[in-house]
Chain A
Amino acid sequence: MNEVPVTARINGEEWSGRVEPRLLLSDFLRGTLGLTGTHVGCEHGVCGACTVRFDGDPVRACLMFAVQIDGHVVETVEGLTPDIEGGVAAASDLHPIQRAFHEAHALQCGFCTPGILMTIAAFLETTPDPSEAEIRSALAGHLCRCTGYHNIVIAVRRAADLSRGDPTAVADEDTGP
């Protein structure tokens, strides 16, 4: 196979290597790099599970080829918590958006969550104080089969407060198992 050289910045670190042109970005992230936080559902752009940030913009990793990231910047859900090397994170290690999702019970099976987090990370940068309608519209490109979206909307609102350092949004103590 004629592989193509690629150099890109992925979650803050430079990666160089060779990839086959037909390798999807989603499969490259999961299979080649072991970044399995990026999920794969439909592989035709509908479900949003594979959403990552490409030069800052949320995109579908299943609709890009890995060769196309050459010279660009990619962020996946793993990049939200760069200090956690594998293993399980303590609540205090989480990114404010992840913390908000945890506290508001915004996930059940969690399949949709990484994609939603990447969309919301970009969304809150341009819309730091969103209305409920804006939140629902930002979530429209993601399918969640578990939650009914209600708690996801609450979590995004909470994430906005946490990200802006709103003291009234201080986290409840983690009462996990």
Chain B
Amino acid sequence: MKPAPFEYAAPTTLDEALSVLSRGDGDARPLAGGQSLVPMLNFRLGGPATLVDLNAIEELAFIEPTADGGLRIGAMTRQVALERDPSVRRAAPLLAEAAPSIAHAQIRTRGTVGGSLAHADPAAELPAVLLALGARVRIARRPRDGESDGRVERSLPLEDLYLGPFFTALEPDELLVEIAVPGLRPGEGTAFEELARRSGDYAIVGAAARVWLRADGACEEAAVSLINAGPTPCLLEDAAATLRGVSPTPERIEEAAVAAAEACEPAADMHGSEAYRRHLARLLTTRVLLRAVGRARERVA
């Protein structure tokens, strides 16, 4: 057998799952879609003592519209649901646009939104796209020694989750339970594009943008994020700052793209040199900003 032996728990409620994790002494690992974790176990890159299978916890799989026009997405929502659910296309079209670029269809039927965020792969689509959307994550655990009973929860801007490559602020006894995505406002537009060698491959570089235009056409707010262009999923604050308060002309957008290409920290590998990746960062940032601005203009009330 490929993976090393482990204890298996298949809780049906969130509280049960948190209890198993808190009893695990740091050596219990959540199993979501398994599309990143199982390959690692098959190669014996790590072998937790206990696997806590989250797949039977129905309360973690949902997509719910919120009062402000946004979405609450449960951690165990399958990636394929982002393509299938019409409320995603309405409230967060960027998610629906990016989802088909995640792996292959047969991976997205199992892979989860929460699993992708927790895995913290700088080459993954969902962290970058949800960063551009200004998403927050809700995290839960059981009380530790000396804390009073009940569930302990915290909520973080997604940015604060990422500390390094494949390294997050999640503690071993914590679960990411929910992602909150703000709704698309009038005058707001988004766009996504990536370059990969073949359909289903991880992107060599990808970019996501969100632009919010005022009635006078000037940019109230902007966000740009890049995929596989640094050690963590990242927002390019310099690029966004170039656009704020000004009219997003093609010249300004080019300036923002140059800022993004300068600020990102891509590494070289067999798929592309650092210089090539910076070139792509600039090119793709230009394209997604132009498209996001075009879409925002269509939505200015």
Contacts and interface: CB of A to CB of B under 8 A. Distances in A.
Contacts of B269: none
Contact of B5 (A1, A54, A60, A62): A1
A146 B106 CA distance: 22
Given A58-B109, A63-B35, A63-B38, A140 B3 contact: no
Nearest to A27: B1
Given A59-B110, A60-B107, A63-B110, A137 B199 contact: yes
Residue among A4, A48, A63, A64 having the largest count of chain B Cβ atoms under 10 Å? A63
B42 A141 contact: no
A105 interface: no
A168 interface: no
Contacts of A60: 35, 106-107, 110
Interface in A62-91: 62-65, 67-68, 70
Contacts of A64: 34, 38, 110
Contacts of B4: 22
Residue among B38, B80, B198, B199 having the largest count of chain A Cβ atoms under 10 Å? B38
Given A21-B51, A22-B1, A23-B1, A62 B42 contact: yes
Contacts of B42: 24, 43-44, 62
B252 to A, nearest CB: 36
Interface in A23-64: 23-24, 27, 43-45, 48, 51, 54, 57-60, 62-64
Interface in B89-118: 103-107, 109-110
A120 to B, nearest CB: 12
B101 to A, nearest CB: 11
A92 interface: no
Contacts of A45: 35, 38-39, 103, 107
Nearest to B107: A45
A65 B3 CA distance: 10
B2 interface: yes
Report, as a range, how many residues of chain A touch the other chain.
20 to 34
B104 A63 contact: no
Nearest to A63: B38
Nearest to B5: A22
A125 to B, nearest CB: 13
B225 interface: no
Contact of B39 (A2, A44, A65, A141): A44
A20 interface: yes
A44 B106 contact: no
Contacts of A70: 10
A2 B106 contact: no
B53 interface: yes
Contacts of B7: 2, 21
Contacts of B5: 1, 20-22
Interface in B12-41: 34-35, 38-39, 41
A57 B39 contact: no
Interface in B184-205: 198-200
B1 A141 contact: no
A141 B34 contact: no
A64 B200 CA distance: 19
Given A23-B1, A48-B104, A4 B200 contact: no
B167 interface: no
A138 interface: yes
Contacts of A113: none
A119 interface: yes
B106 A22 contact: no
B43 interface: yes
Nearest to B43: A44
Closest 7 CB pairs of A and B: A141-B104, A21-B8, A44-B39, A57-B109, A140-B199, A63-B38, A22-B3
Interface of B: 1-8, 10, 34-35, 38-39, 41-43, 51, 53, 55, 80, 103-107, 109-110, 198-200
10 contacts: A21-B5, A21-B7, A22-B1, A22-B2, A44-B43, A63-B35, A67-B53, A68-B53, A70-B10, A140-B198
